[in-house]
Structure 1
């Protein structure tokens, strides 16, 4: 009986090992298939375009305080034919010389199908945001001289996921930088909208995707 028990025990262990090997092999095959599909499809980065900026307020007050109120129109296009894009937790804000001058505005979560275009029109505002003295001097110089041209940077930071069929990837970091050239002197490139100024820019943005 002892020998028969050991024989059954050994057979049970062998069956368990075979099942484990089969499961691991199946998972490896699935991973290889996903990697092959991913490599063949090779997703392209979304294309971002800053279409326009409407300036409702942009005032520099002492000591070193900047109040700004802007509305932008931002377009995103998915260039992929077989890959969808999930946008997760996208924050957009304006900066000047790498200093953030508005609060981050959260864009709604969005799924973008193959070659679809998405438009957002968030309002960006910052009330009495302190800026460094050298930035105040630079901003004053830009607004009062050199054609009154101020270069702002509209930034978008967040997470994206790729969708291939029913498979969804892990999260990737997306960083978008859109230069916005605003004139505060003779109002070139802009036109009056009530008490605000609207600038049609059609500015291509730089997009970086990382893990």
Structure 2
């Protein structure tokens, strides 16, 4: 009889734990649902508003062997648009990457960290970024393509932005999300005057 009583207690405790977990999940879902129904957040938008490159130079090793490098300074102005009326955002761990070409295998040319910042509702924040490649190693095929670009007077790159984003409503901070923006193709002229004729490039933004 005592063994049966102990087993019944364990089952009762397990049922209480399961019930508590179910209630917690339901409450969390309800909070998210209320948030979306009341706030109705709109997607945030990113674009490359301005781009220029200076001191662009590819160094190939003597004899055509491996070990090509790139030196360049990429000056980018990123426009982050928050169209929401009730939602502000806090950005952390913001990083901007410059890749040659598109896709996951595209070689990385330069990277820059951006200070954390707060973005109010209905606000467009402009981020001035300088991503520098200092003797950055590049594959031989990339070095050859970059040399062709230098001869043509322009270079096409892909700009990627990653960040951790907190959404704030009425001073209440919700859990963080990972943001990733991909802007491509960003074609940058190599002449000093080309920045004036640059046309903005919209980015694809994903939040998870």
Match of 1:139 among 138, 146, 158: 146
Give the Å deviation of 1:68: 0.8
Larger Rg: 1
Match of 2:34 among 19, 34, 37: 37
Q: Which runs of 5+ in 2 are unaligned?
A: 1-19, 62-67
Give the Å deviation of 1:156: 0.9
Match of 1:59 among 52, 57, 60: 57
Match of 1:159 among 138, 156, 164: 164
Q: Which runs of 5+ in 1 are unaligned?
A: 1-22
| Pairing of 1:1-211 with structure 2 (within 5 A) | 31=28, 33-40=30-37, 41-63=39-61, 64-97=68-101, 98-102=106-110, 104-144=111-151, 147-179=152-184, 180-184=186-190, 187=191, 191=193, 200-210=198-208
Change (3 A) 1:199 1:54: farther
Give the Å deviation of 1:121: 0.7
Q: How many Å separate the matches in 2 of 1:105 and 1:90?
A: 9
Q: How many Å separate the matches in 1 of 2:56 and 2:196?
A: 13
TM-score by length of 1: 0.73
Change (3 A) 1:138 1:36: same
Secondary structure in 1 matching 2:148: helix
TM-score by length of 2: 0.74
Change (3 A) 1:164 1:37: farther
Give the Å deviation of 1:165: 1.9
Deviations 1:46-99 (A, max 9, x none): 111211112221111112111111211111110112211111110112111221
Aligned length: 178
